Amino acid sequence: MKQSASFLPEDFVVETRERRTGLLAVVLFPIMILAVFAAFLVTNRQWTEVRAAQASVDQETERVAREISEMKSLEKIRAQMDAKAELARGLLEPVPRSVLLAVLTNTMPSNVALTSFELRTEQIKPAKVDPKSDPKADPKSRSARPAAGKPRSGAATAPDANPEPIRRRTHIVLVGLAPSLLEVGRWMTALERVPVFAAVRLELMEEKALDGVKLSEFRIAIRIEPEADLRAWDELDTFREGRLPDEFASSISGVDDESMEAKR
């Protein structure tokens, strides 16, 4: 079916169509501008929130980094203080000899006599680790280190920045006379109760005649390790006051603790 022919002029129709298109473009342009502006505002707001979150994260990271740095600094200071305390401990006398003599004298039975007393102290040197055999050593430092016995020319030997603490082991040898082995055993039982004595060993026991009286000559060896500290002993004040704790008195007299409690 053919369309009916328009009685309007063709130029008028074209002009009307162009006018409608222009009007539509004029209406849609501000709408598009408003839509783009709204999208810009939303995007800008989102970016502002992202920047604020990033700044907050950066501040938190800096705070945590400062705390970690302070913690490392405190750990370093603590390690230095521990090293200095260990060095000071090596210079002090953790087992005072006066108190040590008081402990030996007070625990010794009355019918036991000492003929010789030897106290010897040896310094324990730290074991040297060969960097070539140490698996934890850095290969670069291993190769850069000069060979032993061949110092570099013109290089002065600098003192060690971190000296090792002084560690000492004490050996005590007691030689004396006793009426019988029973008295020596009681004394050794009392000495074994002293916490700083790492080992109490009977090295010699033989019969001897002195002015027609048979006596037993003994030699007791005692070892005190470097970690021993007599100052932290609870019974130390009792010995300083000149009294003997009940557990030592029972060991020397041969009476057990239950019998002493019954007597009380």
DSSP 97-122: HHHHHHHHHHHS-TT-EEEEEEEEEE
Helix 181-192 and helix 246-253: axis angle, to 10°? Answer: 160
State the alpha helices, DSSP H only, in 2-96. Answer: 10-91
Q: What is the pTM of this model?
A: 0.50
Cα–Cα distance for residue pair 177/175, rounded to 1 Å: 7
Supply 204's token pair.
Answer: 């010699």
Q: What is the distance between the alpha carbons of residues 13 and 26, in angstroms, rounded to a whole number?
A: 20
Per-residue pLDDT, averaged over 127-155, amounts to: 51
Higher pLDDT, 82 or 4: 82
Cα dist from 205 to 112, 212, 252, whole Å: 14, 19, 19
| pLDDT tens, position by position, 161-191 | 566 666 778 899 999 999 888 888 888 988 8
Q: Any idea which residue has 């916490």 for tokens?
A: 195
Token representation of residue 91: 């210079």
User: What's the confidence (pLDDT) of residue 149?
Assistant: 47
HSE (CB half, 13 Å, CA atoms) of 209? 2
User: What's the average model confidence in pLDDT over 33-38?
Assistant: 88
pLDDT of residue 218: 92
Tens of pLDDT, residues 55-111? 999 999 999 999 999 999 999 998 888 877 766 665 666 677 777 888 888 888 888
Average pLDDT, rounded, for the chain: 75
Q: At what angle do helices 97-107 and 246-253 cross, to 10 degrees?
A: 50
| pLDDT at residue number 250 | 60
Measured CA to CA in angstroms, residue 180 lies from 139, 174, 177, 197, 208 at distances of: 64, 16, 9, 24, 11
Angle of helix 181-192 relative to helix 97-107, nearest 10 degrees? 140
pLDDT of the residue at 74 = 92
